[in-house]
Chains A and B, each alone.
Chain A
Amino acid sequence: MRRRQNIIAVCVFLVAALLVFLISPKNRQWLQAGFVTIISPFLKKGSEWDANYKKYMGQSKKLGELETENTTLTTEVAKLKAENQALRGVESENLRLQKALGYQTQSPFNLISARVIAHNETNWWKSILVDKGDLEGVRTGLCVLTADGLVGKVIQARPHDSTILLITDENCKVAARVGDSRQPERQGIVRIEMRGFTRGDRVASLAQPRMLMTMIGKFVPIAQGQEIYTSGVDQVYPAGVLIGRVVDSKALELEKQAVIDPAVNLADLLDVFIVGGMKGVQAQK
Chain B
Amino acid sequence: MFILLLAVVMFFSLIIQLLNVVPGFGGQVLLLPVAFFYAAAALPLWAMLVMAFFAGLMCDCLTALPIDMDGKMFSDTFFGWNILLYGAVGSVMNGLHPLFLRGRWPIHCIVTGLLTSLLVLIEFVRVTLHREPFAFAWSPAVLNRIIGSGLSALVVAPFLFIVLNWIGRRLGHFDRPRVVEPATS
Contacts and interface: CB of A to CB of B under 8 A. Distances in A.
**Bound together:** yes
Interface string A25-55: 1001101100110010011001100100000
A200 interface: yes
B96 to A, nearest CB: 15
Interface in B43-87: 45-46, 49, 52-53, 56-67, 69, 71-72, 74-80, 83-84, 87
Given A122-B30, A165-B67, A194-B135, A200 B142 contact: yes
Given A20-B83, A194-B132, A36 B139 contact: no
A105 B59 CA distance: 45
Contacts of A219: none
A231 B58 CA distance: 37
Contacts of B149: 123
Nearest to B15: A42
Interface in B116-162: 120, 123-124, 127-128, 131-132, 135, 137-142, 144-145, 149
Contact of B53 (A13, A32, A172): A13
B46 A200 contact: no
Interface in A41-90: 42-43, 46-47, 50
Contacts, number: 154
B135 A39 contact: no
Interface in A184-226: 194-195, 199-205
Contacts of A16: 53, 83
A21 B57 CA distance: 11
Interface residues of B, number: 60
Contacts of A203: 27, 139, 141-142, 144-145
Contacts of B58: 35
A257 interface: no
B140 A13 contact: no
Interface stretch (B16-24, B106-114, B168-176): B16-24
B69 A163 contact: no
B63 A120 contact: yes
Contact of B19 (A47, A141, A163, A170): A47
Interface in A147-174: 155-156, 163, 165, 170-172
Interface residues of A, number: 55
Interface in B3-52: 11-12, 14-21, 27-28, 30, 45-46, 49, 52
A155 B62 CA distance: 12
Given A122-B17, A195-B137, A203-B145, A29 B62 contact: no
Contacts of A155: 65-67, 71
A171 B75 contact: yes
A163 B124 CA distance: 22
B131 A194 contact: yes
17 contacts: A9-B45, A16-B83, A20-B83, A21-B80, A35-B61, A36-B61, A39-B15, A50-B21, A125-B63, A129-B18, A141-B69, A155-B66, A156-B66, A194-B135, A195-B137, A200-B141, A203-B145
Interface of A: 5-6, 9-10, 12-13, 16-18, 20-21, 23, 25, 28-29, 31-32, 35-36, 39, 42-43, 46-47, 50, 117-125, 127, 129, 140-141, 155-156, 163, 165, 170-172, 194-195, 199-205, 236
Interface of B: 11-12, 14-21, 27-28, 30, 45-46, 49, 52-53, 56-67, 69, 71-72, 74-80, 83-84, 87, 120, 123-124, 127-128, 131-132, 135, 137-142, 144-145, 149
